[in-house]
Amino acid sequence: MIYGHGDDLYRYNGKIKHNFSSNVYYKGCPLELLTKISSALSILENYPSPTAAELNEMAARKFRLHKDQFLFTNGATEAFYLIAHLFSGASAAIVAPTFSEYENACKIHGLDYHLVDKTRFNPNDYQVVFICNPNNPDGTFFSAEVLTQLIEEAPDTTFVIDEAYIEFTDQIESLGPLVKGLNNLIVVRSLTKTFAVPGIRLGYIISCSRIIEQLLSKKMPWSVNALAIQTGLQVFEHYDRWLFNIEELLQATREFIRELSAIPWLQVKPTYTTYFLVELKKGTASALKEFLATQHGILIRDATNFQRLHGEHIRLSTQSPGANAALIKALRLWN
């Protein structure tokens, strides 16, 4: 589903003033990062390393793991397609509603996949289980304790835990360090959402060295470009200093939700992240999206294409106070 994602900003020819359709941090990437990347443009004159292995050592220091337990990819999405390639033909469970690329990757690589409810599935019935944690689009989560128990009780099942948005909540910690003791765990993470550089495309896989080696055998060379590698090197060096304050962002989210909830025809779903679902009690998500984009220069995520999500829903991600106010004002004008 190449065109199935929410951030279709490219369709609007610069007419969008406020973009609520993407979960990327709204303040943008650190100016220092932009400066460092722009000063390194001469690296484009040479090929990057085939597997971006220079990033492994920096990631290993962050997670206190061995460098052989990492594999960097062209965004988290490449990671899911690599994983599906590795498990081609296997049976898989996808805890839904969730990010569509797990399903798309399974289709392409011939997995026998099933969309399952988070409260009603047995991991032992499948060879692979995909879980987004925290989940996109609804901002719910599995606790680390619950996930660890599931993984330990199904040793013949490989668990793929997508932590792309883990820094957009204060409820959970990464399972990455657990790959030291769990050989059936694959953690996928992203650098581009937290540090607001999605155009760079940079994600990574954390797993036991055996699985990393198997994934490497399926990976094409040079999928991570030179600028992405340079971005990763800078981000890992300044990670904590450049990381946004999640408590401030969650407080802004609570205030935003409070204002949205005062609009009678909107029902905001509970969330533990800075993005959330809103069910419409009138009209359609597609019509509302068109109205906001064309009349007000505001882009939202039409969430009706999320499997196992019933009814008319949109997904919003907290933006600046001015942008949030503009959306509230526009919503009150929709008939």
Check pLDDT > 80 for residue 4: no
| pLDDT score, position 58 | 96
What CATH topology corresponds to 9-27+244-331? Aspartate Aminotransferase, domain 1 (3.90.1150)
Which pLDDT tens digit goes with each residue over 201-214?
A: 999 999 999 999 99
Cis peptide before 48 (omega within 30 of 0): no
Band the pLDDT of 5: cuts 50, 70, 90.
Answer: low
For residue 293, is pLDDT > 60? yes
Query: What tokens does 148 get?
Result: 């660890």
Position 15 scores a pLDDT of 86
Ramachandran bin of 251, using left for φ above 0, alpha for ψ from -120 to 50, beta for the remaining angles: alpha
Nearest-angstrom CA–CA distance, 140 and 79: 22
pLDDT at 3: 47
Q: What's the CA gap between 318 and 276, in Å, rounded?
A: 9
Select the more confidently predicted residue: 6 or 133. Answer: 133
Tell whether omega for the bond before 270 is within 30 degrees of 0, i.e. cis: no
Provide the mean pLDDT of the chain: 95
Comma-separated ranges of CATH 3.90.1150.10 domains in the chain: 9-27+244-331
pLDDT at 294: 94
Confidence of residue 13 (pLDDT cuts 50, 70, 90): confident
CATH 3.40.640.10 range(s) for the chain read: 31-241
**Mean predicted confidence (pLDDT) in 80-106:** 97
* Separation in Å, CA 238 to CA 34, 187, 190, 201: 13, 22, 16, 19
How far is the CA of 54 from the CAs of 48, 209, 226, 232, in angstroms? 10, 16, 11, 9
CB 280 within 8 A of CB 314: yes
The residue-averaged pLDDT of 294-309 equals 94
pLDDT in tens, 56-73: 999 999 999 999 999 999
pLDDT confidence band for 6 (50 / 70 / 90): low
Q: Check residue 157 and give its pLDDT.
A: 98
CATH topology of domain 31-241: Aspartate Aminotransferase; domain 2 (3.40.640)
User: From CA 233, how far away is CA 31, in angstroms rounded?
Assistant: 16
* Whole-number pLDDT of residue 8: 79
Kind of pairing between the strands at 301-302 and 298-299: unpaired
Summarised one tens digit per residue, pLDDT across range 24-55 is: 999 999 999 999 999 999 999 999 999 999 99
Average pLDDT over residues 240-268: 97
